[in-house]
Structure 1
Amino acid sequence: VVVRDTIIHPRLIPNAIETRSAVASWLAPMGELTLWNNTQNPHICRFLTSVVTGIPEHKIRVIAPEVGGGFGSKAPVYPGEMITAFCAMKLGRPVKWTETRSENYQATLHGRDHVQHVEMAATRDGKITGLRTVVYAGMGAYLSLASTGIPTILHGLMYSGAYDIPNIKGDIYGVFTTTTPVDLYRGAGRPEATFLLERLMDLLANELGMDPVDLRRRNLIPKFDDGHDVVVGLTYDSGDYEVALDMALNHINYQQLRQDQEHGRGHGHYMGIGVTTYVELCGLGPSQVAGAVGFGGGLWESATIRFYPTGKVNVFIGTSPHGQGEETTFAQIVSDELGVPVEDVEVIHGDTDITPMGWGTYGSRGTAVGGPAVALASRKLRDKGKALAAHLLEAAEEDIEYEDGKFFVRGSPDQSKTIQDIALMANMAWNMPEGMEPGFEATTFYDPPNFTYPFGTHVAVVDVDPDNGHIELQRYVAVDDCGRQINPVIVAGQVHGGVAQGTGPALWEGAVYDENGQLLTGSMLDYPVPRAHMLPDIETLSTETPSPHNPLGVKGIGETGTIASTVTVYNAVMDALKPLGVTKLDMPLTSEKVWQAIQQAKGA
């Protein structure tokens, strides 16, 4: 049995709440440039600013303050920032530039823009035997930061998904058009890969007369804890996909929903149910992989932890968050590792003069790559503290244990020193072991050995009104596994935002150009984005399957909601429209488009 489809992913506008902006200050006597820039990548911004301006890197300071969202669109360096710097140098006074919203829509990178011709083969009993794709990926007018890597690495390497698919062939073509360049946008290639897989699964289930859940369950990769090779050449880290599927189905009471759906159809009520099981490649690294595919740099991360004599702690990180909550998460990691109160830990980021080199925050790599760097720096300090405590307590180092912020002699818990005692002594440094340097700080550079692979199951329930095509998203359940969770509240928040963002292209969003290359959706009046009242409460649940590939067992979470939600909502709508004779629609599924399709089906 073979099913086929042509899927069009609309071009999307990232639409961060804060548009791009920069302030440049040139200190001519010193030959120093300071650039305040809402970038996701301050260290790379400094490097490229040096290349463009000719100013030595050590004379450039890039500061990325609290950034009002980015979603990938603020990872590249744009001409606007460089022109601002040149103007400041020319005028000899500070210069500020902020793009308007319409400029943002036209000049800041776009996302998605795929045309996919896809087919899936299976046996009559529902065992998948192969997947074939021909994908035309819009590049825009010219290449940007990761334009070529998105449809190839981040998209093409996700064709296995959560399923055991023995044969996969993908042909991917980049297409230049006279439009804004396409680059990193939340999910970046993986929503498109998940969409084609999950859409084909529903089409195949329809063809075979199977429940879509039963078809997915039949083809899921079995549970594994320490690596699973898939045919595209990746090694997944850990996964228990069926547990996530069962949790979502049980929570939403799937069998009862199907009964309610059948009953409702007999009374003119058209409910639809969409189910998606996904896997995501994220935690971008390792450096050798990045180098091998032509990235031109490593994808490691760094952290410096410094204790002051008072026991207060600064954590300097190479990543630069823009809404992911790393200030909280990384402080918790230090608190857990070293037993210090979380309120005594301050995380500092986004200033190239005081933070160690890092590669930025995108691709769900903040906690997955930056977090282990913080943990390993903490453990370096713990080891130094152990040696100093042994000296102060006049005990052998191997007899020193550490728990809840206290070093003590094994079997004699009263013989102890707190980590604050150790920090004071290390900084005052008048009674140190021979050969130990003063100070209590450590720096770590962490290069992951593999990607991380979060996974999960999402379920959407929609109602479609056949009289006007209106779609009401009634329920949305998201079960996600991002390994060990550092902060469950932040995890849930990331999923909420991702689901909202991923629902956008399913129902409302899409950038439109006319035949002359003029952007027609150049403002919020023309480019609708989801608002809170359009969405139900997002019901978030989770499983925890630690990754064996990093010391914290963590995986990424920032993009999972976006990766799963577009196709989940789309499949739910198409499921609702099935008894009305509508089998094919392109995104976004606007009310007008749905109503017209229903009328055409009636006429047929």
Structure 2
Amino acid sequence: MTTRLFGQRVERVEDQRFLRGRGRYVDDVLVDTHAGTLHAAVLRSPHAHARIVGIDVEAVLDLDGVHAVWTHEDLPGPMAEPLPLLIPHPALTHGRTQHALARDEVNYVGEAIAFVVAEDRYVAEDAVDLIRVSYEVLPPVVGIDAARAATCAVHDDVPDNVGARMEQRNGDAPAAIAAAPRRISLDLMIERSSCQPMEGRGVVSRWDPDTSRLTVWSSTQTSTGVRGCVAARLGLDLDQVDVITPDVGGGFGVKINHPWPEELLVPMAARALGRPVKFTEDRREHFISSAHERGQVHHVEVGFDDDGRVLGLDVMFWHDHGAYSPYGLIVPIITATQLLGPYKPGAYRVRFESLFTNTVMVTPYRGAGRPQGCFVMERTMDAIAAELGLDRAEVRAANFIQPDEFPFDHGLVFQDGRELEYDSGDYPASLHKIKELIGWDGFPALKAEAAAEGRRIGIGLACYVEGTGVGPYEGAHVHVETSGKVKVAIGLTTQGQGHATVFAQIVADELGVPLEDVEVVSGDTRRMPYAVGTFASRAAVMSGSAVHLAAKAAKDKALRIAAEALEADVDDLEIVDGVVRVRGTDASLALGTVAVLSNPLRYAFDEASKLATQFVVGDPGKPPVAEDDEPGLEGRDFYSPQRATFASGMHAVIVETDPDTAEIRILRYAVVHDCGNIINPMIVEGQIHGGVAQGVGGALYEKMEYDESGQLQNASFMDFLMPYVTEVPGEIEIDHLETPSPLNPLGIKGAGEAGVIPGSAAIAAAIEDAEGIAITSMPISPSDLFALRSRKETP
């Protein structure tokens, strides 16, 4: 029998290509035309807030090599309208999106104003420098405090800078807190940061006048979304537009914002000029004109009993969504609901205000609001433990949802508009595993030994729950070639998650073929025109389920056709190593032969070789496949979930803080993770490793440093701190727990963001344990810790 691949440590099939430098990214796309590819550059605002008084492009038009320049007033029809509000919400009373090119006003440094196309990028950049813009500079609103003060407004019709207010509750939290025997309040903050994929945004487009077709190559996480927007804004039928996503050098959320201005401007220019056009952003452009996340300020009121059980929890927070809100309220809604983690407070109320500022807009970044919520809840748990003098793990255990309480309905509404109902989990078992993995119970002795040596070490713990696999749907197409090879098409894009491996594992298992015979193609609307995208830890759940269903459909058809050819009962057939055979006999057919037989044309069938060989015309009255079957050996299916499935996990970390320099060093890092049934443990662990690295960056290094005028002060890799291999734990100790989800056919949950979610919370707890100083804001640098020490020592 063929060894089952689901759950096995199968090596990634895509890695050799990347390791040998054979990856092909958007900037590598060479469009083969006689005239050659043109290149684009963008003029961006130098001001955080200003009215555009006038734009003079006359000098540009005289520059040799320039083919065209566009400002807002040059944009045709729908191209001049604001970019789409991707996820509206009733509470978003003042949703705002930017234009492809700014009209009348700019609201952050980096906003696109003019678009130049030239023979090469050098000429295009020179042309941008020749454009003269007259501005009336306006006072900027920078940061949450300034937005709340509302001494000036980002948008004239939103004088208080509040884009949305929202409240959710389950029970009467203020009353429960007032009646609780113990009460504390906390003020907590996570600062603004951003994801920085090694490959920034890029787009290439070609218009074919002979076929009236537009081809777009984009480094995106949502190829079908880009396709829809491009078609709508350029007045094309959907079938006239093909979007291809080649290899993507990292996404982490920043590439889900469809469309970026350049994803519309480049195709528009390609069609207008009759030549391919390319745009590739530079690193500074990515810092100042893509998207940021994380910035939130929280006030917490909590009431609890003498055992640490939470009786009432009341949270008010302020979310910085930047100058525009294309993704609506997704990030703060996730924070508001996922803040609860694995716990069940007696009563819960959460309120937030989502605020406009004159800074880069906010869209989801790996974790998408969960790191902030986890930080708030876990700092609250630690504060309760400190107030009562209890073990921090015991306080968490006292508040856990128990295994026999699933499904557990929190009485709130999640990001997808459906009930916040956890489907499965075992939080006490995870806690037991993480304590064993990190050596929790033995740590006090270790800490005492270090103190005797003049060293400061501390331990921290953080728990999280992550809603994954959100809808609405994903699809898959599985096609068995006459060679026996299997081609799989999914609508998702891939940015390094190992899709080509895990989806091939699912298909190989279901169809009974060798893994090397399965090829997975993603992010090409020619192969799968309808999809949603790769984000929100949804790929494995959504596309994995769709791939499973499509492979099953192809298998069922193969067995029907083979049963007729072999004159056997379908129930007596099996597929092993790409061969359909009758159990207990020598009768068999290669799967490729079954694919041949699935064609309604007639073939001569050689009994000796069991192969369909020569095409013949004969016996037209008898179709080779069932009358209700379509030709071809293939399956296509779509999967839509009832609701999100909830993964979970716990991180623990031991840190050392230098008594003199306040340097923070991670000594050990441990993870227990539950993503349901695991398709490939090695790939899941790779996702965890990457997430932990980003979590370390978010906890200790990475933040956007704006000055009061809205200028980003660290918009380069020289100034924006990132963890290197010397800062990321060399070994991350990982254990798995598998509580299968009942909501999908594979029992799986998402795993893509789990590694980053509890990082700040766990590291903050460990630093606090080492220093005896309350840590209420992240990230924390050595300078920040040194300042905290100084304030503690000053009477």
TM-score, normalised by the number of residues in structure 1: 0.93
Task: Give yes or no for the alignment of 1:97 onto 2:279.
Answer: yes
Q: After superposition, what is the alpha-carbon deviation per residue over 1:20-56, rounded to whole angstroms, capped at 9, x for unaligned?
A: 0111112234332211110110111010011222222
User: For the residues of structure 1 that align with 2:690 and 2:365, how far apart are their CA atoms?
Assistant: 14
User: For the residues of structure 2 that align with 1:472 and 1:434, how far apart are their CA atoms?
Assistant: 67
Q: After superposition, what is the alpha-carbon deviation per residue over 1:339-361, rounded to whole angstroms, capped at 9, x for unaligned?
A: 11111111011111222411010
Task: Give yes or no for the alignment of 1:4 onto 2:198.
Answer: no
User: For the residues of structure 2 that align with 1:132 and 1:413, how far apart are their CA atoms?
Assistant: 69
User: For the residues of structure 2 that align with 1:530 and 1:515, how far apart are their CA atoms?
Assistant: 27
Match of 2:680 in 1: 487
Task: Give yes or no for the alignment of 1:41 onto 2:233.
Answer: no
Match of 1:206 in 2: 386
Match of 2:72 in 1: none
Q: After superposition, what is the alpha-carbon deviation per residue over 1:359-414, rounded to whole angstroms, capped at 9, x for unaligned?
A: 0100001111110000000111121122223222323334445566554546x344
Q: Which structure has the greater CA radius of gyration? A: 2
Match of 1:558 in 2: 752
What amino acid sits opposite 1:183 in the alignment?
A: T
Query: Do 2:672 and 2:735's aligned partners in 1 also have CA atoms closer than 8 Å?
Result: yes
Identify the match of residue 591 of structure 1 among 775, 782, 785: 782
* Ranges in structure 1 where 5+ consecutive residues have no aligned partner: 286-298
Match of 2:470 in 1: 284
Query: Do 1:224 and 1:238's aligned partners in 2 also have CA atoms closer than 8 Å?
Result: no
Match of 1:129 in 2: 311
What amino acid sits opposite 1:272 in the alignment?
A: G
Match of 2:624 in 1: 432
What amino acid sits opposite 2:567 in the alignment?
A: E
Q: After superposition, what is the alpha-carbon deviation per residue over 1:146-178, rounded to whole angstroms, capped at 9, x for unaligned?
A: 2412111x2222132101222110001110000
2:726 is paired with a residue whose SS is: helix
Match of 1:442 in 2: 635
Match of 1:500 in 2: 693
Residue 187 (structure 1) shift: 0.7
What amino acid sits opposite 2:732 in the alignment?
A: I
Query: Do 1:166 and 1:231's aligned partners in 2 also have CA atoms closer than 8 Å?
Result: no
Query: Do 2:438 and 2:653's aligned partners in 1 also have CA atoms closer than 8 Å?
Result: no
Match of 2:117 in 1: none
What amino acid sits opposite 2:718 in the alignment?
A: L
Task: Give yes or no for the alignment of 1:257 onto 2:443.
Answer: yes
Counterparts in 2 of 1:533 and 1:88: CA distance versus 1, 3 Å: same
User: For the residues of structure 1 that align with 2:410 and 2:575, how far apart are their CA atoms?
Assistant: 41
Q: After superposition, what is the alpha-carbon deviation per residue over 1:103-147, rounded to whole angstroms, capped at 9, x for unaligned?
A: 100000111111111122210111111211101111100112x24
Counterparts in 2 of 1:395 and 1:27: CA distance versus 1, 3 Å: closer
Match of 1:331 in 2: 504
Query: Do 1:147 and 1:184's aligned partners in 2 also have CA atoms closer than 8 Å?
Result: no
Deviates more, 1:414-423 or 1:3-12: 414-423
Task: Give yes or no for the alignment of 1:118 onto 2:300.
Answer: yes
Residue 416 (structure 1) shift: 4.1
1:26 is paired with a residue whose SS is: strand
User: For the residues of structure 1 that align with 2:601 and 2:428, how far apart are their CA atoms?
Assistant: 55
Query: Do 1:303 and 1:373's aligned partners in 2 also have CA atoms closer than 8 Å?
Result: yes
Aligned length: 585
Query: Do 2:691 and 2:753's aligned partners in 1 also have CA atoms closer than 8 Å?
Result: yes
1:459-538, aligned counterparts within 5 Å?
Answer: 459-536=652-729, 537-538=731-732
RMSD: 1.8
User: For the residues of structure 1 that align with 2:302 and 2:340, how far apart are their CA atoms?
Assistant: 12
Match of 2:793 in 1: 602
1:9-408, aligned counterparts within 5 Å?
Answer: 9-76=190-257, 77-144=259-326, 146-152=327-333, 154-224=334-404, 227-232=407-412, 233-285=419-471, 299-401=472-574, 407-408=580-581
User: For the residues of structure 1 that align with 2:406 and 2:633, how far apart are their CA atoms?
Assistant: 36
User: For the residues of structure 2 that align with 1:546 and 1:555, how far apart are their CA atoms?
Assistant: 8
Residue 323 (structure 1) shift: 1.3
* Ranges in structure 2 where 5+ consecutive residues have no aligned partner: 1-181, 413-418, 603-622
Counterparts in 2 of 1:421 and 1:99: CA distance versus 1, 3 Å: same
Counterparts in 2 of 1:121 and 1:225: CA distance versus 1, 3 Å: closer
Residue 263 (structure 1) shift: 3.6
Query: Do 1:119 and 1:200's aligned partners in 2 also have CA atoms closer than 8 Å?
Result: no
Match of 2:608 in 1: none
Q: After superposition, what is the alpha-carbon deviation per residue over 1:254-306, rounded to whole angstroms, capped at 9, x for unaligned?
A: 11122211343354321111101211011122xxxxxxxxxxxxx20000000
Residue 456 (structure 1) shift: 1.1
2:562 is paired with a residue whose SS is: helix
What amino acid sits opposite 1:300 in the alignment?
A: Y
Query: Do 1:301 and 1:370's aligned partners in 2 also have CA atoms closer than 8 Å?
Result: yes
User: For the residues of structure 1 that align with 2:213 and 2:575, how far apart are their CA atoms?
Assistant: 46
Residue 506 (structure 1) shift: 1.1
User: For the residues of structure 2 that align with 1:437 and 1:143, how far apart are their CA atoms?
Assistant: 45
User: For the residues of structure 2 that align with 1:41 and 1:151, how far apart are their CA atoms?
Assistant: 22
Task: Give yes or no for the alignment of 1:540 onto 2:540.
Answer: no
Residue 418 (structure 1) shift: 4.7
What amino acid sits opposite 2:265 in the alignment?
A: I
Aligned residues with identical type, % of pairs: 38
Larger helix percent: 1
1:453 is paired with a residue whose SS is: strand
TM-score, normalised by the number of residues in structure 2: 0.71
Residue 421 (structure 1) shift: 4.0
Counterparts in 2 of 1:443 and 1:518: CA distance versus 1, 3 Å: same
1:281 is paired with a residue whose SS is: strand
User: For the residues of structure 2 that align with 1:31 and 1:355, how far apart are their CA atoms?
Assistant: 20
Match of 2:106 in 1: none
What amino acid sits opposite 2:553 in the alignment?
A: K
User: For the residues of structure 1 that align with 2:534 and 2:376, how far apart are their CA atoms?
Assistant: 27
User: For the residues of structure 2 that align with 1:265 and 1:231, how far apart are their CA atoms?
Assistant: 46
User: For the residues of structure 2 that align with 1:373 and 1:434, how far apart are their CA atoms?
Assistant: 24
What amino acid sits opposite 2:195 in the alignment?
A: P
What amino acid sits opposite 2:315 in the alignment?
A: T
